[in-house]
Amino acid sequence: MTDSTSESPVAVARRPGKRERLVGAAMQLLHEQGAERTTLAEIAKLADVPPGNVYYYFKTKDDVITAAIQAHARQVRTVLAGIDTQHRSPKGRLKALLREFAAQSELIAQHGCPLGSLCSELDKRAGEPSLGVAELMRLPVGWAEEQFRALGRRDAHDLAIDLIAAYEGSALLANTMHDPTILAKAARRLIHWIDTL
C-alpha cells in the first residue's frame, strides 16, 4: 500500500540537473551581459549550484560557453523542426521563422540577438578558438536556403544570406536604439518580400 499523502511521480515536476541549470544560466548571462563580463561564479549563483561544483561539469569558462553554444544550436534545430512540422509550404515556413524573430523583439531590443551577439563577441577574441560559434549562423542560413530552393530559386543561398542578414541587422539596430518596433517592422517587410517571390 502506498502513502496517500505523497505526491504522484507525475505530479512532481523534475528539476533540471546541475549541468542543465549551469548551461541554462550560462545562456542567459552570456546573452544579458556577454562572455567577457560573465563569470563562473555568476553562472553558478544563477543556476543555484555551489561554485565548487561547476568544475565537476566544466573545467574552464570556455567549456561552459561551448556547452551554451551547443544548447543554442539544439534550440535552433528544435524551432526549425517545429516550423517544418507545422507549415506545409516553403513560404509558410519562412514567414513562420520571421514571426518567431518578431516575437522576441522586446528581448532583442534589451539584450540583442542571443545568437548574433554571441557570435560577434566570440569572433573578436584574439588568438582564441572560435568554439564552433559559426554553426549558430549556419543553421538558419542553411535551413532558409532549403526553403528558397524548394521555391525553385537558383539563388537560394544568396536569398538565405539576405534574409538572415536583414534580421541580424535589424536586431542590432533594435538593440542599439532600444526600440523593438524596428525588428517587428523589419519582420513585416521581410514577410511581404517573401510573398512577392
CATH, residue 168: 1.10.357.10
Residue carrying C-alpha cell 541549470: 21
Is residue 153, in this structure, part of any structural domain at all? yes
Is residue 167, in this structure, part of any structural domain at all? yes
DSSP states of the chain as a string?
A: ---TTSPPTTTSPPPPPHHHHHHHHHHHHHHHH-TTT--HHHHHHHHT--GGGHHHH-SSHHHHHHHHHHHHHHHHHHHHHHHHHH--SHHHHHHHHHHHHHHTHHHHHHH--HHHHHHHHHHT-TTS--TTTTHHHHHHHHHHHHHHHHTT-TTHHHHHHHHHHHHHHHHHHHHHHT-HHHHHHHHHHHHHHHHH-
Range of the domain at 52: 18-196
Is residue 2, in this structure, part of any structural domain at all? no
Is residue 1, in this structure, part of any structural domain at all? no
Q: What is the domain count for the chain?
A: 1
Is residue 84, in this structure, part of any structural domain at all? yes
Cell numbers for 21: 541549470
Is residue 37, in this structure, part of any structural domain at all? yes
Residues 196, 145: Cα–Cα separation, whole Å: 17
Is residue 8, in this structure, part of any structural domain at all? no
Is residue 9, in this structure, part of any structural domain at all? no
Q: What is the pLDDT along the chain (197 residues), one digit of tens a residue?
A: 444 444 445 545 677 899 999 999 999 999 999 999 999 999 999 999 999 999 999 999 999 999 999 999 999 999 999 999 999 999 999 999 999 999 999 999 999 999 999 999 888 876 666 678 889 999 999 999 999 999 999 999 999 999 999 999 999 999 999 999 999 999 999 999 999 99
Give the pLDDT confidence score for residue 16 in this predicted structure: 82
